[in-house]
Amino acid sequence: MGASLPALVRRPAVLWSALAVALAAAVVTVLIVVPGGSSADGDYRDADLPTADRVADLLGRMTMEEKVGQMTQATVAAVDPAPADLADLGIGSLLNGGSEALRDTPEAWAEMIDGYQRQALESRLGIPIVYGIDAVHGNAGLPGAVIFPHNIGLGAAHDPDLAGRAAAITAAETRAAGIHWTFAPCVCVARDSRWGRTYESYGEDPGIAIEYAPAVVAGYQGEDLAANTSVLATAKHYVGDGGTGYGTSTTDSYQLDQGVVAIGEEELRAIHLAPFQAAVDAGVGSVMASFSSVDLGEGPLKTHADEYLLTDVLKGELGFEGFVISDWQGVDQISSDYAEAVRTAINAGVDMVMVPFEYQKFIDTLLAEVEAGRVSEERIDDAVSRILTQKFALGLFEQPYADTSGAADVGSDAHRAVAREAAAASQVLLRNEGDLLPLTGDESIYVAGSGADALGRQLGGWSGTWQGTVQAVNEGTSILAGIEEVAPGAAITYSEDASEPIGAADVGIVVVAEDPYAEGVGDAGAGTHDMKVSEEDAAAIATVCAAVDCVVIVVSGRPIEIEPHLEGVDALVAAWLPGSEGAGVADPLFGATPYGGTLPVTWPKLVEDEPVNVGDAEYDPLFPYGFGLTT
């Protein structure tokens, strides 16, 4: 039986003490139950406190399992079968891989991401996810979004302010869809145009990237990262991926991508590291490690495994306070022994791992490494603190769900006007015999070539799909349509293969183009992308330029081997990958704006001349770095 009444009377203090504890526990329980099912309260919920205090408070409440969960980034396709894992495992981030989970409207994107966010907020502490995507030249996963010129075109414009405005519009059109984080800007310095990612670089001179990085980071992140027009920026790929040696890639069929950068440390610092210092100084929130390896004289070491470069240099010397994200399964490349790969990457300084599929395996592995003492709790706490700091800066704890009030501005005339301005500014006039350009706009014009009426080709890779596609999924104006818009008084005949009679045309315009490509697949020699004019486009040049005064416009992500086809060509224009606004290509063509762009990379005579860069001891290109005629 229980205690007798006399016993209770003799111990009133004990009784009331027990009751007080029970009542306090009940009150605390009521206080910490928040909507969505999480049990979370404390200083980290107080938006008035300094971020460092909120991070420390939250970190102190987390279990090791919850911390490792925050270091995990899974792809949408991986969690779709088990969305409850977001809460159960405390996964910190999701990303779109390639063309998966695309939606047609900002609201549809936001609804999808909010669904994942609701799952994440069911976790014990209610920590929100951060959602990332490759919005590298516009929110290209969203039909109707504005697509800007790829970085090489922006580099040709030599206008950091313009690049910053493009980044700000991209940020607004990305955050309006509920996406918090873009894997951009790429501040790599492309030293060999055979690299399939050359167009993601601003040029071969680090000075351009150094100049652009602050403006672009500020454009993405804005004055307030929590605003519905801002996204977390990512400086990538750290470090030296534009300087890999041809044929050093360890990936099947690649030639340059994911290869080895074998140079001295002084050169690595001057060319490839300096743009990252500029991005860090601008407050960039994340840095993505490169697939490539660096060899400073002691043999190649994967950057994902390089503690000297990631921790000592980036976080120590450069003062980077954000977090390091791995590239897609980049950790796996360190070693065939997965446990070794994971502990090496984390100890080297990788803070969040883009798993992207086997997230449970990663979590279990890292937990085991911590339990065994091979990864310290201090290293885990450092990584998680960096991640949480950016989540607080993004305002995700106060506003975890999407604010789609900016959705109506996606693809707006005002946004497209900036993209058109950028396309026009990126045009580089390489030849203008007899001052053929600008055209008057009242000519009879014969238009041909694979790039004239192919929006997908002028968008390039990372547009709708990972590698891009000739059949563009994004909206926009082709170059042909742009010509018709800018010169409504011209009589235009279009024949892609130049099979239609040229007749009495006054001038011909042949728009040659590369098919879209992205990383690895675009490496010259890795497949069908060889940096040469296609047989069909070469035939169109020969046909049209033999008959009339002729303009050749090159739509490409890098210089291509054009010299064998220049006979009879009166004007030559490098249009790069101009994005969704083809009228921007037409504007300087007809004098609506002047030609003023200059080459951000050296244009070789032959593909086999690569690598060729300004300052080389033997330098005899077709067009030198910095060249560009004006009108």
pLDDT of residue 99: 67
Give the span between the Cα atoms of 400 and 410, in whole angstroms: 21
Same domain, 72 and 160: yes
User: Does 8 map to a domain?
Assistant: no
User: Does 543 map to a domain?
Assistant: yes
Residue 3 scores a pLDDT above 50: no
Cα of 382 vs its chain's centroid, Å: 25
pLDDT of residue 40: 60
Residue 32 scores a pLDDT above 90: no
- In the chain, % of residues over pLDDT 70: 93
User: Does 34 map to a domain?
Assistant: no
Alpha helices in 495-534 (DSSP H): none
Same domain, 462 and 587: yes
Residue 236 scores a pLDDT above 50: yes
Same domain, 280 and 189: yes
Q: Given 358, 375, 408, which residue is the final one in a domain?
A: 408
Q: Which residue has the higher pLDDT, 339 or 34?
A: 339
Same domain, 403 and 437: no
The secondary element (H helix, E strand) that includes residue 60 is: helix 51-61
For 4-8, 16-20, 552-556, which range has the lowest pLDDT when averaged over its residues?
A: 4-8
Same domain, 376 and 466: no
| Domain count of the fold of the chain | 2
Give the span between the Cα atoms of 538 and 546, in whole angstroms: 12
How much is the average pLDDT of 411-437? 98
User: 114 is in which domain, residue-wise?
Assistant: 43-408
Same domain, 310 and 436: no
User: Does 5 map to a domain?
Assistant: no
> What is the DSSP secondary structure assignment for residue 567, as one 8-state letter?
T
Q: Which residue has the higher pLDDT, 36 or 45?
A: 45
Taking all residues of the chain, what is their mean pLDDT, rounded to a whole number?
Answer: 93
Q: Which of 306, 327, 443, 523 is catalytic?
A: 327
What's the pTM? 0.93
How much is the average pLDDT of 592-617? 98
User: Does 275 map to a domain?
Assistant: yes
- Tell me which amino acid residue 454 is: A
The enclosing domain of 157 has a CATH number of 3.20.20.300
Give the span between the Cα atoms of 584 and 417, in whole angstroms: 9
Beta partners for 235?
A: 287
Same domain, 52 and 135: yes
User: Does 186 map to a domain?
Assistant: yes
Cα of 312 vs its chain's centroid, Å: 25
User: Does 360 map to a domain?
Assistant: yes
pLDDT of residue 537: 98
Please check whether residue 293 is in contact with residue 301, taking contact to mean a CB–CB distance below 8 angstroms: yes
Give the span between the Cα atoms of 604 and 105, in whole angstroms: 42
CA distances from 253 to 105, 217, 259, 524, 533 (A): 36, 34, 12, 10, 22
Residue 57 annotated in active site: no
Alpha helices in 81-150 (DSSP H): 85-88, 106-120
User: Does 414 map to a domain?
Assistant: no
pLDDT of residue 97: 81
Please check whether residue 68 is in contact with residue 91, taking contact to mean a CB–CB distance below 8 angstroms: no
Residue 519 annotated in active site: yes
Q: Which of 200, 453, 519, 587 is catalytic?
A: 519
For the stretch 98-115, pLDDT in tens is: 767 789 999 999 999 999
pLDDT of residue 29: 34
Same domain, 386 and 462: no
Residue 23 scores a pLDDT above 90: no
The enclosing domain of 502 has a CATH number of 3.40.50.1700
For the stretch 616-629, pLDDT in tens is: 999 999 999 999 99
Burial class of residue 310 in the structure, from the number of CB atoms within 10 Å of its CB (0-12 exposed, 13-18 middle, 19+ buried): buried
Same domain, 325 and 390: yes
Q: What is the dihedral of CA 389, 134, 256, 77, to 10 degrees?
A: 90
Residue 173 scores a pLDDT above 50: yes
Q: Given 348, 380, 408, which residue is the final one in a domain?
A: 408
Same domain, 575 and 501: yes
Say which residues have a Cβ less than 8 Å from residue 548's Cβ, sequence separation at least 6: 446, 502, 505, 506, 507, 508
Same domain, 256 and 351: yes
For the stretch 133-169, pLDDT in tens is: 999 999 999 999 999 999 999 999 999 999 999 999 9
Same domain, 402 and 518: no
pLDDT of residue 526: 79
For 24-33, 112-121, 275-284, which range has the lowest pLDDT when averaged over its residues?
A: 24-33
